Structure 1
Amino acid sequence: MASAPGGMRKAAPRPGSLRRNLLANLVGIAAYNLGQWLLLVVLARMTGTGDVGRFALALAISAPVYLAVGLNLRMVRATDARREWRPEQYGRLRIVLNAVSLAVVMAIGLGLHMSTADLMLLGVVSISKAVEATSQVLYGFFTLRERLDLVSRSLVLRAVLGLASFSGALVAGLGVTAAAAGLAGAWFVVYLFHDRPEYQRALATDADYMAAQGLVAGESSATSRLARRALPLGVDAGVGSVALNVPRYGVQLSLGVDHLAVFASLAYLAQVVSFITGAFGDAVLGRLVVLHHTSSAKAFWRVLFAVLFFGCAVTGAAVVGAALVGRPVIGALMGHAYVDQSVLLILLTGAGMVTLQRSLARALYARQRFVDAMLVDTAVLIASLGWAALLIPRWGLDGAAAVLGLSFLVGTFVTLALLGRSTRVQQGE
C-alpha cells in the first residue's frame, strides 16, 4: 500500500462488489440502449421511414468497420491484468485506428455511390463512432478495475445528452445529419468532462489496486505488439458486428429501405435483451480475469454459470412481455407501420441465442483466447450469410429475423467445442 503525506498510510482501493457492478452496469446499459432506440423513435415520429432507413444504414456500415479496424482495444485493456502496455500506448493506437476507420468508412460510402447527403450523414455518424471508441478504451480499464459504476455513469450521461441533442436538432428542423452531429458533440462532452477525469483518478491508484489483488506487473511491451495482440480481437469484433448486420444488409438488398426501417427498429429493440444480459458479462469480466490468473477454477466456472442463468431469465421475461404487450407498445411509440409481432418475437428468441453464445465467450476472453473468439464469430458470419441467402428471399422479414438465432446457435456449439479444448490444454491434458 502507498503512503499518504505525513506518514499516514491510505487503504488500497477496493473493487466494487459483483452485485454493485451488475446493478450499475445494468442501469448504464439499459439507459444507453433505451436512448439509442429512442433516437429511432424520435426520427420515425419527426421524419419518415426514408430517414430512419438512411440513419440505420449509416450505423450498419460504420459499426463493423470501427469494431474491426479498432481492434476491440476495450477487451484487450479489460484483460491486461499484468499491465503489459502503458496507458499512453493504448491512447496513441486508438487515435491511429480512429483515423483509419474513418477513411475506410468513407471509402465504402464512395464505393457504394452514395449521394452527397448520405455521405455527409455517414461521415458524421462515423465521427460519433470515433468518440465512442475512445471512451470504450477507458471503459476497458474501468472494467479491469471492477468499477462498472464509472462506465454506467458515462453511459447514462451519453444517453441523456445524446438524445437531447439529437432531438433538439430535429425539432429545430435541421435534419438527420445535424441531429447526428449533435449526438457526436454530446458524446464528446461526456468524454471530456467525465470519462477522462475519472480515468486519470483511477490511474493514480492503480499500483495500490494491483498490490491488494495480488497481481504482479509484467514488463512493458511495444505498441506494435499491442496491435498484434489485439488483431484477432479486431477481426472478431468486426466479423461479429457484420454477422449481426447481415440480416439488415439482406433486407436492404431484397426488400428496400422502407422495410429496413421497420426491421432495424425492431431488431434494435430485440438487441436490448443481449445488451442487458451482456451487462452482467461485463460486470464479471474483471473478476473472471483475476480468477483465471489466480488459478481459481471452481470459482471461475461458478461465476460463468451465474451469467448463463441470468441470460436465460432475461430472455424468457422479454419474450413473454413482447407476446403480451409488444404490439400496443410499439404502435403507440413508433406508429402502426412498425408493428410486426412475429418478427419481434423471432428476433427476441434470436437475442437469447446471442446471449448464450456471448456469455460462454466471456470465458475465452478472460483466458485471452482471442484467436478462438475470432474463429467463433467467423463461423457465425458464415452461417449468417448462408441463412440470409436461403431465408430472406423466401420469408421476407420473418426470414431475416430467424437468421440471427440460427447463426448464433451454430456459434454456441463452436464456442463449447473450443472451451472444452482450452480447458483440457489448461489442465495439461
Structure 2
Amino acid sequence: MVRSQSPTDEPAIVATTAQPLRPALRRVRLRLPGQTGNVAWNLLGLFGSAVTQWGIIALLARFGSPTMVGQYALGLAATAPVILLASLGLRVVLVTDTSGRFAFREYLRLRTAAMVVAVTAVGVIAATRGSGDGTVIMLIGIAKAIDGVGDIYCGRFQQLLRMRLIATSMIMNNVATLLLMAVLLSLTQDIAWTATGSVAGSTLGSLLYCRWAARRLEPGGPSRTPRPAPPGGIRRAGTLVRIALPVGLASGLNSFSGNVPRYLLEHRSGTGALGIFAVVAYATVVTNILFAGIAQTALPKMSELYSRGALRALSTLTSRLVLGSLALGAGAVVGALLGGDTALRLVYGNTYAQQGHLLAILATSVGFSGALFFLNSAISATRKFGRQLAASLTMLVVNVVVSLTLISAHGLTGAAWALVVALGCEAVLKVVMFRHALATPADPSTTARHRA
C-alpha cells in the first residue's frame, strides 16, 4: 500500500522570490504536481469510479431497456445543475484558500445547509414529472446531495493531499451503488426501486466514511487540524457565499448548458432516444472522470504556483496537460472509427450495435473535455471566479442555439454534434480567459499571507 504522506513531505516544485523560474520549470517537466503516491491514489479512485459508473449504465442497458436508461440519465441531467449550483463551488474555494481565511467547519456548515435547499428544489422539479420519472429524479437528487456533503470533506482531504481518503470514499460509494442497484434491478425490474441503491451507496461512501476519515485528522490524528471557526458565523458565512457564488453559478450553468442537448433530445424524441444517447455517450464520459482526477491533483499545485508568481511554470504545466488530453482525444476518435459498432454490440447488445457512427462523433469531444478540465483548474488557481460566470453565461447561449439547430434537423446525430461543437467553443474561450488571467498579477495581500 502506498504511504499517505503529509504536505510537509512534498518536494517543493515552485519558485519563491529568491528562486529563478528556471528550476521551477525544470521540476514541472519532470513530474506531475503533487506526490507520485497521491496521483496514483487519485487515479485509482477515479478509475474505479469510472468503471463502476459505466457498469451501472451497462447494467441498465443489458438487463433493462433504453427507456430505463433514459429515465436514469434524465434524473442525472435534471439534478446535476441544481446540486452544482447549491454546492457554490466551495470545494474549489477551499482548496485554493492557501491563506486559510476560513475554517473547514465553515465550509462544511454552508455546504450542508445548501444541500438541504437543493433537495427541496429537486423535489419541486420531480413533482412536475409525475410519479414515474419524478420518483427517479427525487431519489437521484437525494443521492447527489449526500455526495455533495461528502465532496466538501474530500476538498479538505485534497487540500491536505490525502488522496487515498478520496479514492477510498469514491470506490466505496460506487461499488456499493453498483451492487445494490444490480440486486434491486434483478428483484424488481423497476427503475425507481433500483435508484434507491444510489442513495444507499452515497450514504455509505460519501457521508459515513468521509465523516469517519475526517475525525482521524483531529488532534492526535495523522495530519494537521483545521483552525476553529472564528466568531461572527452568519456574517462570515455571508462573506463566504459572496466569494463562492460566482463559482457555484458557473458550475450550475455549465452543467445545465452541457445537458441542454439531453433535455432537447428527450423533449423531441422521448426517454428511449435519450437512453441510447446516454449509453453511447458514457463511453466517453469515463475519460472525463480520469481527466477530473488529474485536474483535482494539479489544482493545489497550480494555486501555489500562481500565488508564488511562477506564471511561466503554471502556463507550461497547463499547456502540457491540455496537449496531452487533445492527443488522447485523437486516439479515441481513431478507436471509435475502427471498432465502434463491434464494441457497442459486445458491451451493450444488439440494440445499440448500429450506433458506431454516434460513438465516433462523441469521441471527438474527449480531447476538448480534458482540455476544459485542466483549463478550468488553472483559471480557478488564479481565483478569478467572476470571469468563469461570464464564460458560463456565454456558453449557455451557444449551447441552446447549437442544440436547437442541430437536434431539430438531425435528432440523435445532431445531439452528438451539438455536444462536440459546444465543447470546442468553450475550450477556445477558456484559453483566452487563462491567458488574460496570467496577465493580471496575483493579489499582493494573498501572496504575502501565503509566504508568511
Query: TM-score under structure 1 normalisation?
Result: 0.89
Match of 2:327 among 313, 320, 343: 313
- Specify the alignment match of 2:138 in structure 1: 123
Matched, 1:57 2:71: no
- CA deviations 1:202-224 (Å, max 9, x no partner) are 3548997699xxxx999888111
1:104-119 equivalence runs, <5 A:
104-110=121-127, 112=128, 114-119=129-134
- Specify the alignment match of 1:7 in structure 2: none
Matched, 1:332 2:327: no
- Specify the alignment match of 2:63 in structure 1: 46
1:83–1:218 Cα contact (<8 Å) kept: no
Q: Summarize the Cα distance change of 1:267–1:89 in structure 2 as closer, same or farther, 3 Å threshold.
A: same
1:36-115 equivalence runs, <5 A:
36-110=53-127, 112=128, 114-115=129-130
- Given residue 283 of structure 2, which amino acid in structure 1 is its aligned partner? L
- Given residue 418 of structure 2, which amino acid in structure 1 is its aligned partner? V
Q: Summarize the Cα distance change of 1:102–1:208 in structure 2 as closer, same or farther, 3 Å threshold.
A: closer
CA distance in 2: counterparts of 1:144 and 1:427, whole angstroms = 20
CA distance in 1: counterparts of 2:151 and 2:286, whole angstroms = 19
- Specify the alignment match of 2:196 in structure 1: 181
2:326–2:366 Cα contact (<8 Å) kept: no
CA distance in 2: counterparts of 1:417 and 1:217, whole angstroms = 40
- CA deviations 1:369-421 (Å, max 9, x no partner) are 11112222222221111100111111221111111221122222222222222
CA distance in 1: counterparts of 2:413 and 2:310, whole angstroms = 44
13-22 vs 316-325, which moves further:
13-22
Structure 2 gaps of 5+ residues are: 1-5, 11-32, 444-452
1:28–1:152 Cα contact (<8 Å) kept: yes
CA distance in 2: counterparts of 1:234 and 1:351, whole angstroms = 24
- CA deviations 1:275-327 (Å, max 9, x no partner) are 22222111111111122222222332232223213312332332233233332
Matched, 1:223 2:237: yes
Q: Summarize the Cα distance change of 1:226–1:342 in structure 2 as closer, same or farther, 3 Å threshold.
A: same
The Cα shift of 1:14 comes to: 2.9
1:181-220 equivalence runs, <5 A:
181-202=196-217, 204=219
The Cα shift of 1:231 comes to: 0.6
CA distance in 2: counterparts of 1:249 and 1:133, whole angstroms = 23
- Given residue 186 of structure 2, which amino acid in structure 1 is its aligned partner? V
Q: Summarize the Cα distance change of 1:125–1:342 in structure 2 as closer, same or farther, 3 Å threshold.
A: same
1:346–1:401 Cα contact (<8 Å) kept: yes
- Given residue 368 of structure 2, which amino acid in structure 1 is its aligned partner? M
Structure 1 gaps of 5+ residues are: 1-10
CA distance in 2: counterparts of 1:354 and 1:82, whole angstroms = 31
2:75–2:140 Cα contact (<8 Å) kept: yes
2:47–2:290 Cα contact (<8 Å) kept: yes
Match of 1:241 among 255, 260, 268: 255
- Specify the alignment match of 2:405 in structure 1: 390
- 3-state SS, counterpart of residue 82 of structure 2: helix
Q: Summarize the Cα distance change of 1:307–1:101 in structure 2 as closer, same or farther, 3 Å threshold.
A: same
CA distance in 1: counterparts of 2:384 and 2:221, whole angstroms = 25
2:115–2:145 Cα contact (<8 Å) kept: yes
CA distance in 1: counterparts of 2:324 and 2:144, whole angstroms = 29
- 3-state SS, counterpart of residue 376 of structure 2: helix
1:78–1:144 Cα contact (<8 Å) kept: yes
- Specify the alignment match of 2:441 in structure 1: 426
- Specify the alignment match of 2:9 in structure 1: 14
- Specify the alignment match of 1:3 in structure 2: none
196-205 vs 92-101, which moves further:
196-205
- Given residue 9 of structure 2, which amino acid in structure 1 is its aligned partner? R
345-354 vs 15-24, which moves further:
15-24
The Cα shift of 1:125 comes to: 0.9
- 3-state SS, counterpart of residue 82 of structure 1: coil
The Cα shift of 1:188 comes to: 0.9
1:82–1:218 Cα contact (<8 Å) kept: no
Match of 1:273 among 284, 287, 292: 287
Q: Summarize the Cα distance change of 1:117–1:343 in structure 2 as closer, same or farther, 3 Å threshold.
A: same
Q: Summarize the Cα distance change of 1:117–1:243 in structure 2 as closer, same or farther, 3 Å threshold.
A: same
- 3-state SS, counterpart of residue 309 of structure 2: coil
Q: Summarize the Cα distance change of 1:245–1:54 in structure 2 as closer, same or farther, 3 Å threshold.
A: same
- Specify the alignment match of 2:168 in structure 1: 153
1:32–1:159 Cα contact (<8 Å) kept: yes
267-276 vs 284-293, which moves further:
267-276
- 3-state SS, counterpart of residue 250 of structure 2: helix
- CA deviations 1:29-76 (Å, max 9, x no partner) are 222122112112111222222221111111110111100122122211
130-139 vs 288-297, which moves further:
288-297
CA distance in 2: counterparts of 1:42 and 1:332, whole angstroms = 13
- Given residue 429 of structure 2, which amino acid in structure 1 is its aligned partner? V
307-316 vs 91-100, which moves further:
307-316
The Cα shift of 1:199 comes to: 2.2
- Given residue 352 of structure 1, which amino acid in structure 2 is its aligned partner? G
Runs of 4+ displaced beyond 4 Å:
203-211, 216-221
- Given residue 167 of structure 2, which amino acid in structure 1 is its aligned partner? S
- 3-state SS, counterpart of residue 368 of structure 1: coil
1:169–1:178 Cα contact (<8 Å) kept: yes
2:123–2:138 Cα contact (<8 Å) kept: yes
